[in-house]
């Protein structure tokens, strides 16, 4: 039931890098809450990039996260990504189609406090006129 609730389309709003969850975007809120509870980040940014892809307006399906956590100290990048993926396994198995991850230690963030930019969508599903039906089926 929670997955169904999380996949409801909501209007897009401006990016908000702060850690406060926005109740009008349930998937973003769930991502923020789970990453905060699991990784205790010093800094967290969650960006809904769905508007950059071939999905209906208001979708919450493509995200970029920046997580700065002391729990990443001494871990290789693949292990850091696994921690993030494990925290979000419910969302990744239901309504989140793509997740770009930047996982930094506080020291790395201190020396390079930037968020990478996402490349433009290559349009993989832009020609698929059944995409809206597929997304709807995924929510049911």
What is the per-residue pLDDT across 1-60, written as a single tens digit (0 to 9) for each? 343 333 433 333 333 344 444 557 889 999 999 999 999 999 999 998 887 877 777 888
Q: What is the CATH architecture of 26-113?
A: 2-Layer Sandwich (3.30)
Three-state secondary structure string covering the chain: CHHHHHCCCCCCCCCCCCCCCCCCCHHHHHHHHHHHHHHCCCEEEEEECHHHCCCCCCCCCEEEEEEECHHHCCCCHHHHHHHHHHHCHHHHCCCCCEEEEEEECHHHHHHCCCCCCCCCCCCCCCCCCCHHHHHHHHHC
Q: What is the pLDDT of residue 17?
A: 40
Average pLDDT of the chain, as a whole number: 78
Q: What is the pLDDT of residues 71-99, one digit of tens each?
A: 999 999 999 999 999 999 999 998 888 89
In the chain, where the domains are located: 26-113
């Amino acid at each position: 039931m929670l997955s169904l609730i999380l996949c409801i389309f909501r209007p897009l709003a401006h990016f908000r890098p702060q850690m406060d969850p926005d109740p009008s975007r349930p998937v973003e809120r769930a991502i923020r809450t789970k990453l905060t509870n699991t990784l205790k980040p010093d800094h967290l940014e969650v960006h809904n990039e769905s508007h950059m892809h071939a999905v209906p307006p208001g979708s919450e399906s493509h995200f970029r996260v920046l997580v700065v956590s002391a729990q990443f100290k001494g871990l290789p990048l693949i292990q850091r990504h696994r921690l993030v993926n494990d925290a979000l396994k419910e969302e990744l198995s239901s309504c989140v189609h793509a997740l770009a991850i930047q996982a930094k230690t506080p020291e790395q963030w201190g020396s390079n406090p930037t968020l990478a930019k996402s490349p433009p969508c290559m349009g993989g599903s832009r020609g698929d006129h059944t995409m809206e039906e597929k997304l709807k089926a995924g929510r049911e």
